[in-house]
Amino acid sequence: MRKSSAPPVSGLGNKRKYRYWGLERLRFLSQLSGLVITNLYLIHLRWLPFPVMNCYACPLATFACPIGSLQYAIDAGFFPFYLLGVIFLSGLIFGRITCGWLCPFGFIQDLLYKIPTRKFTFPRYLSYGKYFFLLIFVLLLPFLFRQPIFCKICPVGTLEGGIPWPIIEPQFRSLIGWNYFLKIAILVGIVVLSILFSRPFCKAMCPLGALLSFFNRFSFLRVEVKKEACRRCALCAKRCPQGIVIYEEEGHPDCIGCLKCKVFDAVEMKVGVPDKLLGLKKEVERDG
């Protein structure tokens, strides 16, 4: 009897497993590089906002924080053309992929989630919280009170600036008040939640993620499903740190492009103008 030349199923499974862990190692190195690049200390580019959550009050910070810079512009009373241009360009090219591959605070949350303990599913409706923080704490309250309100509660700023400076410079210790302990409490809460839930800050509190989420469906670099290869087995949803069923929710605002959903080669990172935009262009030309 003639033997089949097809590889055994277990062999295919092992190949997929090796590719998956190879992708995970690549992402880990990318996240580690993001942490290093945004905190080089000797290089000061704090006039340039970088599309990740990394506090520019950090003693090591290389770039400006987009959210801190936006609040400063509101406080100073000028329209931030340059800042919004950087955010728009980053969103148009990458969407929220920078959240999944470069963001230092996202990386820290991923490491905390690896701590072996019982895990829980984050309620999907809480993901609207980041739009609340963007609208109220980044835009409205800074406009009303002329202060960077979100910076006063931001756990990223507490970890990277609020904790190191009193240690490095003793004169800052005299400025510690109730607001400082409130920020510490918020940071501790996010740390505990990050052990139990995957990326709670990204899902429910990050205003930069809220801004970049509007570009996810139309970004130049994006995650797409190969319809002919998708088995709709829902394994992607079990792996997704954001709880997204990618074959039903392609371009979801919470997608961070981590590619954990890459199962059976049914998901790919696509580069180029999205078909949605090409189809819209054709419709406009046809109507014109």
**Mean pLDDT, rounded, for 164-173:** 91
pLDDT in tens, 211-232: 999 999 889 999 999 888 888 8
123, pLDDT greater than 60: yes
Do β-strands 45-49 and 63-64 pair in parallel, antiparallel, or remain unpaired?
Answer: parallel
Residues 157 and 104: their CA atoms lie apart, in Å, by 12
66, pLDDT greater than 70: yes
pLDDT in tens, 28-45: 999 999 999 999 887 889
pLDDT of residue 82: 94
**Mean pLDDT, rounded, for 184-209:** 97
pTM for the whole structure: 0.88
pLDDT confidence bin for 167, thresholds 50/70/90:
very high
pLDDT of residue 282: 47
**Mean pLDDT, rounded, for 45-55:** 94
Mean pLDDT of the chain: 89
Per residue, the 3-state secondary structure of the chain, as one string, reads CCCCCCCCHHHHHHHHHHHHHHHHHHHHHHHHHHHHHCCCCCCCEEEEECCCCCCCCCCCCCEECHHHHHHHHHHHCCCCHHHHHHHHHHHHHHCCHHHHHCCHHHHHHHHHHCCCCCCCCCCHHHHHHHHHHHHHHHHHHHHHHCCCCHHHCCHHHHHHHHCHHHHHCHHHHHHCCHHHHHHHHHHHHHHHHHHHCCCHHHHHCCHHHHHHHCCCCCCCEEEEECCCCCCCCCHHHHHCCCCCCCCCCCCCCCCCCCCCCCCCCCEEEEECCCHHHHHHHHHHHHHC
Sequence spans of domains, the chain:
27-213
286, pLDDT greater than 90: no
